[in-house]
Amino acid sequence: MNPQKSNQPAQQYSYAYLDEQTKRMIRRSILKALAIPGYQVPFGSREMPVPYGWGTGGIQVTAALIGPDDVFKCIDQGADDTTNAVSIRQFFAKVADVATTEDTSEATIIQSRHRIPEKTLKQGQIMVMQVPQPEPLRTMEARETETRAMHAYEEYGVQYVSLYQSVAAHGRITIGATYPVMVNERYLMGPSPIPKFDNPKINQSEAIMLFGAGREKRIYAVPPHTDVRSLDFEDYPFEVQTWDEICALCGSEDSYLDEVVLDDQGNRMFVCSDTHHCSVRRDAGHAGPLAGHALGSAKEAAE
């Protein structure tokens, strides 16, 4: 549990994998990002022992912050038990000697890419998001020099062009993930590809939200109690996804649901994407239509 032991020759890695100078550099970028909410701070992204696209940005942010007293949770698509989540959790358990958990309220650092947990985050918690493409304007403007100027001068009209096209083509705003937001009414920000369902959770959150893009070498942040507004039109207001179904296992009506195909007969079920949220509800006695009897076989059928 003592971080000093990283200096002992028997230890293969520095504490939390990155060397101390790198972690200081990343911490400086994080502080700057927190000071300018939504602004993309460049940082010297390092080679990590996983490929780009597997969470290198998030891992570096976590490595710079994590200490032996932290409790670490890692989710992938809301689930604690998927390959990527398990690997990253084991990685930090090994190189940073931290306790790990699946319990959202227990965790001090939660690393994720696609979801923000259903349970409301509290003061003292840090959400670390892995970001593939930090620049929300990129699809409309390819030049980095130009997008930087657009951020500097708050020229965000172009972002509405994509919303406009979406309404023109489909009669509603169809962007489902990476839905652009204004942070503190100043910087336009693309949340990591979380569903727009999770956008309201960033607004005025008590927890710190950090975003790390390893390949693109950018860190940005939303400090606690910051206004985050999803872009929309006056006559086409922002709205989150809704489902006609409830969670088949825990009966939840208000969580983000994944569709799971059960067989080749067209049967399917909808289950909470946040596995911890779902299991807590089941333990508390909530039950959905498929709860209890067929859980094992339903899961097998799904796989």
Partner 1 sequence: MNAMSQIVEPLPLLRVTRLTKAFGPVVACRNISFDLYPGEVLGIVGESGSGKTTLLNCISGRMQPDEGEVAFATRRLGLTDIYNLPEPDRRRMQREEWGFVHQSAREGLRMRATASANVAEPLMNMGGRHYGRMRAETERWFNRVELDPARLDGQPRLFSGGMQQRVQIARNLIHGPRMVFMDEPTGGLDVSVQARLLDLMRELVRDLGLAVVLVTHDMAVARLLADRLLVMKQGDVVESGLTDQVLDDPQHPYSQLLVSSVLQI
Nearest-approach distance from CB 141 to partner 1, in angstroms: 9
Q: What is the largest CA-CA distance in the chain?
A: 64
Site pattern 51..90 for partner 1 (x: CB under 8 A): ----------------------------------------
The only residue of 145, 168, 266, 293 in contact with partner 1, by rule CB under 8 A = 168
Of 227, 256, 253, which Cα lies nearest the Cα of 240? Answer: 256
Distance of alpha carbon 203 from alpha carbon 207, whole angstroms:
10
**Catalytic residue (choose from 250, 251, 285, 296):** 250
Quick check: 114 and 77 in contact, CB under 8 A? yes
Determine whether 74 is an active site residue: no
Nearest-approach distance from CB 91 to partner 1, in angstroms: 39
Nearest-approach distance from CB 251 to partner 1, in angstroms: 37
161 near partner 1, judged by CB under 8 A: yes
Nearest-approach distance from CB 138 to partner 1, in angstroms: 12
153 near partner 1, judged by CB under 8 A: yes
Taking CB under 8 A as the criterion, which residues in 215-254 touch partner 1? 233-236
9 near partner 1, judged by CB under 8 A: no
Residues 6+ apart with CB under 8 A from 164: 233
The only residue of 93, 140, 260, 287 in contact with partner 1, by rule CB under 8 A = 140
165 near partner 1, judged by CB under 8 A: yes
**DSSP assignments along 91-149, one per residue:** HHHHHS--EE-S-TTT-SEEEESS---SSPP-TT-EEEEE-S---TTTTT---HHHHHH
Determine whether 272 is an active site residue: yes
Alpha-helix runs per DSSP H in the chain:
20-35, 56-65, 83-95, 144-152, 157-170, 199-202, 275-283, 295-302
CB atoms within 10 A of CB 2: 9
Nearest-approach distance from CB 40 to partner 1, in angstroms: 19
Which one of 53-61, 110-118, 157-165, 275-283 is the stretch in contact with partner 1 (CB under 8 A)?
Answer: 157-165
The only residue of 25, 36, 86, 167 in contact with partner 1, by rule CB under 8 A = 167
Q: Residue 138, CB half-sphere, CA atoms under 13 Å: how many? A: 10
Quick check: 228 and 181 in contact, CB under 8 A? yes
Of residues 185 and 206, the one with the C-beta less far from partner 1: 185
Of residues 55 and 190, the one with the C-beta less far from partner 1: 190
- Give 257's strand partners: 272
Tokens 């965000």, located at residue:
156
Of residues 87 and 166, the one with the C-beta less far from partner 1: 166
Distance of alpha carbon 245 from alpha carbon 44, whole angstroms:
45
Write out the catalytic residue numbers.
Answer: 38, 247, 250, 272, 278
**Which residues lie near partner 1 (CB under 8 A)?**
139-140, 149, 152-153, 155, 157-158, 160-161, 164-165, 167-169, 233-236
